[in-house]
Structure 1
Amino acid sequence: DGCISLARTISAGRSSYRICGEASTMADLRAIGEHLADIHGQHEHQSLIHERSHRRFLDAFGGQEHLALLGRFAETWRELSEAIRRREKLATDERTRAQRLDLLRYQVQELDDAGLSPDEDEELAAERARLMHYEKLREGLLAAWDALRGDESGGAVEQLRVAQDNADELAKIDTKLEAAAGLLLDAVSQAEDAARLIRAYLEAMEEDPERINEVEAPEPHCRPEAQVRRHGARDA
């Protein structure tokens, strides 16, 4: 019915408080009471004592036009506060971005100075395998070279050439052998190419025990995987 009842009961030296019949506290009772009534005595109104009430009284005295202006001011203040907050956030983001760019430039420079290639890990692994199996590679390639070239009559290249010459002659008698002659010609060419590659590889081979040690145990901070982990390049 629009009524609010406030009650305080003192019994045996103890006080209890109720608001509309519900148990409450003295602080709640005082807070509500200040907005419902003033206590008059030999001094001024009690609500005037509280500084937090002064501005409310002044605003109410200004009337509806003043209250409307006050509402617009409050909204403008909120918008200004939000704009200031956004500006500060943008400034913070810009500083963070600049710091991030500086860090990335430093990391890129370190990677450039390290002279790493995109396939550095794979290249080192391949070089390590070649150096560690030098003798096995050399012996196997020499055997392959002998099988392909051998002496002037015993190598696979010469045997293929003889077969190809014979097929050419026979194809003149029966054209059905032209396909076989062509295949043998290709085989001779491929065998010669293989022999040249093997020979070049053998001539370029060089045993280097010191390089084996370098590849096997580089300085920890110089290892490609260490540089990559340090700068997070794998995730990038």
Structure 2
Amino acid sequence: MLLNLHVKNLALIEESEVTFGSGLNILSGETGAGKSIIIGSVNLALGGKVSRSMLRENAEFALVELIFSIENEAQAEVLRALDIFPENGEIIMSRKIYASGRSVSRINSETVSASVMRKVASLLIDIHGQHEHESLLAKRNHMKYLDDFAKRVLAERKKLLAEVYDEYTACRKKLEEASLDAKQQARELSFLQYEIDEIDQADLKPGEDEVLEADFKKMSHGRKITEAIAECQELCSEGNENAADLIGRSVRALHMVAQFDASMEALSGQLEEVENLFSDFNRELSGYASELNFSEEAFQQIEDRLNQINHLKAKYGKTIERILEARQEKEEKLDQLQHYEEYRQQLQENLSQAEAKLNQLCQEVTEIRKSYAKDLTVQTTAALQDLNFMDVRFEMEFSRLDHFTANGWDETRFMISTNPGEPLKPLDAVASGGELSRIMLALKTVLAEHDEIETLIFDEIDSGISGRTAQMVAEKIKMTGKNHQIICITHLPQIAAMADHHFLIEKTSSADSTISNIRPLEREESIQELARMLGGVKITDTVLQNAKEMKEMADAVR
């Protein structure tokens, strides 16, 4: 359940906080007061798109923070699988948007990606926007509602179906690629044999290139190395006044006086160690110099070998190991071509087996869908009758595609008849905007009873609805609020009267700024707001009495 919403520096909102309750939470207010900003901020916090224009003028950042209580163990388990652990049964989701356009999403103070925010949001909240009912006009969405309804049984089969479909498409692709005629086959065999021979003739050894590159580097700088060694030997051991002679004379000088002062013995010993180290260095340097020789022929051989290896790397892979792997792959492909008909036959068998499994799974998924489609349409029909579709018939039509997809071979669409004697027709051929809103509400309420998502948000679902139908929609939302938390933005007093918790969004303006605020209403204030919704600018005693009666009637809907 959504416990708390905190918004700062977003559009018309300077800073606002609201604490929601269980049941039906109603948000109302004048047109343009900022009601949709509230729902927009929730969407934003849950991973929606960010625009710099959403920040208040001159604000350095905007912040949206949501606090959810997690009471469902199944939800908690999924959250733990995402490395999100509720603290005291709650999680805090926040998003900070900077003026630069950068945003940071956090859950329980830990930074997470937008994709993780969306995954968590899909577990906790379902938002029905102002125009979502229009998605019913596209039949590709109809199966999604059915699959959501049946997901407890269907989810694992659909996952397996997608895996087998990937296997099937991979087999089909291999078989298509293996469609060579005799000439193509001969050319491919010849080319593969050439490439294998080219790699074999190189007689590559793993790590060989690293040794050659080190030798090449050393030999390509041979003159500089020789000159540096000669200079070092001149200074250290061979020239006049060289370092070895000077250190030796220093050792003898200190040794002669060390007997007169104990502290001089320690210094003399240190200098003797230096002399020994320097002697060892000179011997090693002399040995290195004696072994150092530069051969133009050897250098050319190393250069040629490196050129050969680098040529193979450019063709077959960036390392010797990858070149050898490529050689193995080509040998396997060569073997396939040498036994081409056997290879194609095996591919065909693999494809047939994958197709058989896919057929079986598609059939199973179709049977599950058709079974649940009956339940979904029966329950949706009942919900539609509650929403003043008195003689409605609501069914789901199935047809079969002429190809497989990762979702099976089904194509579905909702069919409806709203008047006695009329045949069933597709929704887009029958339903008006107001009717689509009610149909979507009916579907949402039915799906909610089969879903673990506790919080539903309805943003102005009352478009095109009035009179007795509005009253029935209000009662339906109220009844849904018994088992779910509902947050609803509305212009209809019939729906607002049903509120368990009523919030007013109002806009105030001064010379230099406009600010939206949200605040909870006490019962009498709620009646005043209902009167405004009923009567407009002028609220008469009669309108106020009507609002009070509407509230009392709503109290009776339990």
TM normalised by structure 1 equals: 0.44
Greater relative CO, 1 or 2 (CA 8 Å, sep 6+): 2
TM normalised by structure 2 equals: 0.20
